[in-house]
Chain A
Amino acid sequence: MSQLSQATQGLASIPALLNRNVAQFGDKPAYREKEFGIWQSWTWAEAAEEIEALALGFLELGVAEGDFIAIIGRNRPYFYWTMVAAQMVGAIPVPVYQDSAAEEMAYVLGHCGAKYVVAEDQEQVDKVIDVQDQLTEFDQMIYLDPRGMRKYDHSKLHQFSALQDQGRSAKDKHSADIQARVDALTYDSTCVMLYTSGTTGKPKGVVLSNRNIIESAKNACEFDKLGADEEILAYLPMAWVGDFIFSIGQAYWSGFCTNCPESAETMMTDLREIGPTYYFAPPRVFENQLTNVMIRMEDAGQLKRWLFKRFMAHAKKVGGQILDGGDVSASDRLMYALGNALVYGPLKDTLGFGRVRVGYTAGEAIGPEIFEFYRSLGINLKQLYGQTEASVFITLQPDGEVRADTVGVPAPDVEIKIDDKGEIFYRSPGVFVEYYKNADSTASTKDGEGWVATGDAGFFEENTGHLRIIDRAKDVGQMADGAMFAPKYVENKLKFYPDILEAVLFGSGRDRCVAFINIDLTAVGNWAERNNIAYASYQELAGHPRVLDTIQQHVETVNKSVAEDPMLSGCQIHRFLVLHKELDADDGEMTRTRKVRRAIVADKFKDLVDALYDGSAEVSTTTEVTYEDGRKGAISATLSLRDAAVVPTAAHKVAAE
């Protein structure tokens, strides 16, 4: 493997990359964060000084090599520094989802045996204090924001800046030690440990080495020709592998700048101000942005609405082809250029996508209609297929070969094979080392030759060599008559409607499909306002007959579209209901990365699923909910169940044979 290390010029750790960046791009901004209304920035040289000060502070605290340091907070430069400082002293950074409830946090902190926790503010500190009795290894905590912290017992608590100051004044004492620890880092040292979001079961700690991260980042940077002048906005959870690869892996490999928003609520404004050139978002973000655009267009004047409709129709026709360098007539190009001046340009600018050169969506399948919408505006949005266990990249779409229904070709250095059951396996330099303290899961996921099972089913298209994912292998099932049941496919069609935030399809092993729908409060609330519909709560709005009428129309339109695909026409929705609460990660119905946990939803709302199948017109139910602070409550509701028209299809039977 030493020749691989040569491939990255002997740069075998993130601290080594930091040193190189200081030498090469010392005066270039490495981090920006908006604070007090102004973008504050740190050059690579300044960032390196901050990181070193913290690393020295860690030594003052007594951090030993191999210790785990948990990081709980939103995307801020300080936490990225913490990860690199931890690596410098030979410790292992473990970013944790900051919106986790205290018990979830207790599981992760307990499982890795984190000795140190770096937390953002009082809220996070309180959560850790709440569960510290369950944590045997936990020793010291560092907090960033001193607000409200003055009264706390500081025997085991340290302020971030104070620790850095301690580090700076102890520089002479520790500098040899730091140097030795940095020098000891190899390609095989652990770079980071990330917990999977866990659509099923408890989160697993994925151990990723420097080789995994650096090789993957390097390959992906070369694939998309990312250079030192890219700008990215870091806003996705730090505990998620994507953020680690983009904001640490690729940022350190290429030397580009990581921008942190002022707060979660200002993200859209900050996105617009920064105008990233490289952008990444899960489908949910694109769905939300599209919903916002549609709502604002509903509120716009007639001329604007007409312009928008007229030019979006044109963009839909030719926009994607122009982006892919396809054959488009001169008059269509002229029309598109006009549209760009009047509609697409301003819209892209408002969305913050004015400068995006490379944009990716991944995490789960994006609805083709949503995907095409952004492509038609001229935004180079592409899909990739990845996993935490692969250090993200398994397949990527090359420029000019972008389609909504494939996830692209194998990323550089990635080998892929598909077994006879259709499950996808891959092998690459990015393949994880192990699941921490879980040899059984490691063995069942990764074989002796390094092949990793993805749990997804898919196939390569023969003429293009692109991989197509059918669905999560676990989710794809068969209906009672043997027809294929692919829930995601139908759900994505539903989610294209701004009114629908989330949908869950049931039908595996049954004779027909039924669905749960979550309405989007912003979109439907706006519609209600315009139509003078009064409502007091989410629940009331979700149960409003006129809302149900609208959703029913959407469902029936989707049925028509589903019926067109002979393989999947059995997945038409026969009955549906609109849920009385939003599916929520706090209630365990979704992962922290906002993927639906099907099994849990099916189990929790079993009475509702049964009612959809037994033909009743109404059902009363009580659901337990968890508030943000962890307290529990219950909401009860009477939901009306609706029948939706389905398209009778002979193809259904054919597929079954």
Chain B
Amino acid sequence: MLDHSESYVTEDGRTIGGVVMEMKNITLRFGGVVAIKDISFDIREGEIRAIIGPNGAGKSSMLNVISGFYNPQEGDVYYKGALRPPMKPYQVARLGIARTFQNIALFEGMTVLDNIMTGRLNHMKAGLFAQALWKGKAEAEEVANREVVEKIIDFLEIQSIRKTPVGRLPYGLKKRVELARALAAEPSILLLDEPMAGMNVEEKEDMSRFILDVNDEFGTTIALIEHDMGVVMDLSDRVVVMDYGKKIGDGTPDEVRNNQAVIDAYLGVSHD
């Protein structure tokens, strides 16, 4: 296994920094069901980190732990070197962690633009009263936020649907709008829950391109869950493999691909 303790430069010229988030011996239970069992791994600054595994392996639970939606019964989460106490999701969002959802969680009746603007919530400081009157600070703030949002719209090439209500969009575009909203928060870590689920090959290629570009242009650290092995192996710098709540592999795509436990999990070997 490569030594990844120091920052290094990838083959394609990106710099991967030190550890930004670390999971230490995480165990998550729902009643008697153990969703995650004693898992440890880290996420490094600037990398694309994938979490893969068969259905029911606990991937989404893991992502929910990272996003603060679940608080694990055991184990610690370290963020930027400090222990992260149990938090509400909105508090985690303020730390600079944004996410998308497997089942798309957009406001269907609102336009694409307004949906993305909601991603700027943590960057709006003006009070309710000022916002309602749209005077002074509130106005300047909205202009500044709109500029950020417009740059994201440009980046994700969704100018033509700026004013379209999200409910009228096809699935692939909704996924892209969700990514835009997450980016609007200017996160330092972006969590993507099955960004390519249900997409056709062309949409997958587009989305892969955008994920790589986000990572490359903004230097955003990305953690993603994905079913499509081809996509994962192409995109990621490092991969964590889960099966039945346990970690069965961790390393570069090549290392994971040749890991016997991973092969067994995917090809189906009887579990003891």
Q: Chain A residues in contact with chain B, CB under 8 A?
A: 35-38, 147-148, 150-151, 262-263, 265-266, 269
Contact = CB atoms under 8 A, between A and B. Distances in A.
Nearest to B162: A37
A265 B160 CA distance: 6
Interface of B is mostly: helix
Given A36-B150, A147-B213, 19 more contacts: A35-B154, A36-B147, A36-B151, A37-B146, A37-B150, A37-B153, A37-B159, A37-B162, A38-B150, A147-B155, A148-B213, A150-B216, A262-B160, A263-B157, A263-B159, A265-B160, A266-B159, A266-B160, A269-B160
A66 to B, nearest CB: 37
Contacts of B3: none
Contacts of A148: 213, 216-217
Interface string B188-221: 0000000000000000000000000100110000
22 contacts: A35-B154, A36-B150, A36-B151, A36-B153, A36-B154, A37-B146, A37-B162, A38-B150, A147-B155, A147-B217, A148-B213, A148-B217, A150-B13, A150-B216, A151-B13, A151-B216, A262-B159, A263-B157, A263-B160, A265-B159, A265-B160, A269-B160
B12 interface: yes
Contacts of B155: 147
A35 B162 CA distance: 12
Contacts of A266: 159-160
Interface residues of B, number: 16
A152 to B, nearest CB: 10
B52 to A, nearest CB: 26
A35 B146 CA distance: 13
Interface string B139-167: 00000001100110111010110100000
Q: Which of A35, A36, A38, A269 has the most CB of B within 10 A?
A: A36
A35 B151 CA distance: 9
B118 to A, nearest CB: 17
Contacts of B216: 148, 150-151
Ordered nearest first, which 7 A-B pairs have the shortest CB separation?
A265-B160, A36-B150, A266-B160, A151-B13, A37-B150, A262-B159, A266-B159
Nearest to B163: A269
Nearest to B160: A265
Contacts of A265: 159-160
Interface string B85-125: 00000000000000000000000000000000000000000
Contacts of B157: 263
Contacts of B213: 147-148
A263 B157 CA distance: 9
A529 to B, nearest CB: 13
Interface string B240-267: 0000000000000000000000000000
Interface string B41-62: 0000000000000000000000
Contacts of A150: 13, 216
A265 B157 CA distance: 10
B217 to A, nearest CB: 6
Contacts of A147: 155, 213, 217
Q: Which of B13, B160, B217 has the most CB of A within 10 A?
A: B160
